[in-house]
Structure 1
């Protein structure tokens, strides 16, 4: 059960209408829930150990002065010790030149549902391999095919190569006979951004929307608010340094005048039902808050889950940390709620 179920303040537009004595638009307030870590020695002990390992073994090596090869190696080393779910099978494949992993539950040899999973890593690091602790569990929990593109990364391939590769993966699922109402898109961090942007790219290309989106700690800001979480929570975040965020946004190099270049300017009028999960102790906290509020203003259904005392993409510690297992279970339930049978 959530610690609290909070409905946020009315959007600013409603307040302005009230000042002008004109009718305010009908709005639904954002759905925001907070979760404390589950009680128990395993959660508290592993939480402390994992937080310390991130601070010492990963955070210093993500961002300047390190080059991208060093950063990729650091994330890879950190990820290989995260346990995969033995109930899932991973098969490497290709869609043309695009490398992908197909992850399926061993108990469901012919899935009726599918997820395009856009892995995180600040657009420049990470791979399908580094995120198997998440993708194998999503496959096991949902019974779906989880298709994970090894999308082109920066700085070698700047924007919008990553979005284009996500579209290619989605089109492949359609070509294989998966109906849009049985498809979801999910991703973490930069992959959360790509999940959000992929929905917009599909709309712009006249392609059908998936049934559901799930985003973990998505990044949508292209500028840093000096009073926002990117600054105020930097000392609490055990994984992300603001200097890394500045570096990778420069590498990503999304032009503001491109139709997909400014995430906060995207039309959300067709955004599918969306679940956003974020840790309390992370610099990207404000971005998750913004998405749920913007989607709600656009008349779309979005839910935000805030995990207290947890960090950026803590879900990657599933199998070790009970709160991570619970978060992925809630994702699976959200997919099933909106998928067609």
Structure 2
């Protein structure tokens, strides 16, 4: 027996088990009814924003709102926020973070527990765009906004080789599809990609199979399937900008994927890792035993989440260093 297992192979902590039980009993029944109609969707957005206002960013980061003034009259300005260390040492690098929320809810504010920790652990500024949400703005609105945010970073003089694109859940899908679009449009490739519990299959076929094997503490297949339909709208689920498992990944930068061992989207993350590896792309997959969906957001209370964020920082530093040495632009 390995006396010192990897942090993601260890038995879940007492805090992790307690939180998972509480979510399964108190939150999943509520989430499973969302986003069933406009009223419940507004309720979900309001509740998420209200909860986010109770969370402090921490004393080691600065949050600044962004409205990009350098756009022509035909373009939508890049809006969102910068989350930066108080005294950053690297001004020529950045993380582009795309928040989760099923493409229908949440905001840069709701995900500050993750973005603030990334800024501190990686010692890098984090740009979090406020991309447009469905169903008011279906596909490809969010993707266009994410690519514009990447172009914004390039326009500030940050080379692609020093940018890491990251995201969680639906933001993980958006991060991966953004990188696919970057490769298709011949923009400078990023140094790497970080995905937390990525929602890979918007049809939810894999999630449906997984749900019969494992009861996720709070993610509902029915709610996820409806959110996917709201985002795709009149689009085609087989569109290569949406279908990550059929997207050609031959020119992809390195991927780093973390997923909870006890969550609904585990099979999707594992399948994506297989697809990336088959295409010759580098993908480091970490399955964190017993952890729930996007457990990294609880890094103030879960030891596993803190360890996961440190693992992320290791990957980010190595990806930027390797990309810079390789001469990527």
TM-score of the aligned structures, taking structure 2 as reference length: 0.86
Instruction: Point out the more displaced range, 76-85 or 322-331.
Output: 76-85
Structure 2 match to 1:27: none
The answer for the alignment partner of 1:309 in structure 2 is: 290
Deviates more, 1:297-306 or 1:257-266: 257-266
- Kindly tell me: are residues 200 and 260 of structure 1, through their superposed partners in 2, closer, same or farther at Cα, counting changes over 3 Å? same
Are 1:120 and 1:191, in contact at CA under 8 Å, matched by a contact in 2?
yes
105-114 or 290-299, which deviates more: 105-114
**Residue of structure 2 in register with 1:246 after alignment:** 225
Counterpart residue number, 1:16 = none
Partner residue, 1:228:
209
Contact 2:35 2:227 in 1 (8 A): no
Q: Distance in 2 between matches of 1:211 and 1:337?
A: 9
Q: Measured at CA, do residues 225 and 337 of structure 1 come closer, stay the same or move farther in structure 2, by a change above 3 Å?
A: closer
Q: Does 1:133 align with 2:113?
A: yes
Q: Secondary structure at the match of 2:226?
A: helix
Pick one of 199, 204, 222 that aligns with 1:219. Answer: 199
Deviation at 1:257, TM superposition (A): 5.2
> How far off is 1:231 after superposition?
3.2
Separation in 1 of the partners of 2:207 and 2:286? 24
Q: Find the aligned partners of 2:97 and 2:114 in 1 and give their Cα distance.
A: 10
Give CA-to-partner distance per residue, 1:54-80, whole Å, 9 cap, x none: 334433332254521112123334444
Query: Does residue 268 in structure 1 map to residue 268 in structure 2?
Result: no
Cα distance between partner residues in 2 of 1:65 and 1:170 = 32
Summarize the Cα distance change of 1:3–1:250 in structure 2 as closer, same or farther, 3 Å threshold. Answer: farther
Aligned to 1:255, the other structure's residue is in SS state coil
C-alpha offsets along residues 6-41 of structure 1, whole Å, 9 cap, x if unaligned?
xxxxxxxxxxxxxxxxxxxxxxxxxxx942257xxx
1:73-112 to 2 correspondences below 5 Å: 73-82=46-55, 84-95=57-68, 96-108=76-88, 111-112=91-92
Matched residue count = 307
Q: Give the Cα separation in 2 of the matches to 1:223 and 1:197.
A: 17
User: Quick check: 1:278–1:305 contact (8 Å CA) kept in 2?
Assistant: yes
> The residue matched to 2:205 in structure 1 has which SS?
coil
Written as runs of structure 1 = structure 2, the 5 A alignment for 1:189-208 is 189-208=169-188
Question: What runs of 5+ residues in structure 1 fail to find an aligned partner?
Answer: 6-32
User: Unmatched 5+ residue regions in structure 2?
Assistant: 69-75, 325-329
| C-alpha distance after superposition, 1:77-97 (max 9, x if no partner) | 444455534211111111353
Does the C-alpha gap of structure 1 residues 180 and 247 become closer, same or farther in structure 2, counting only changes over 3 Å?
same
What is residue 292 of structure 1 aligned with on the other side? 273
Cα distance in structure 2, aligned partners of 1:277 and 1:226: 17
Structure 2 CA distance for aligned equivalents of residues 132 and 61 of structure 1: 23
Task: Tell whether the 8 Å contact from 2:204 to 2:221 is kept in structure 1 after alignment.
Answer: no
Report the more deviating stretch, 50-59 or 300-309. Answer: 50-59
Counterpart Cα distance in 1 of 2:180 and 2:301: 35
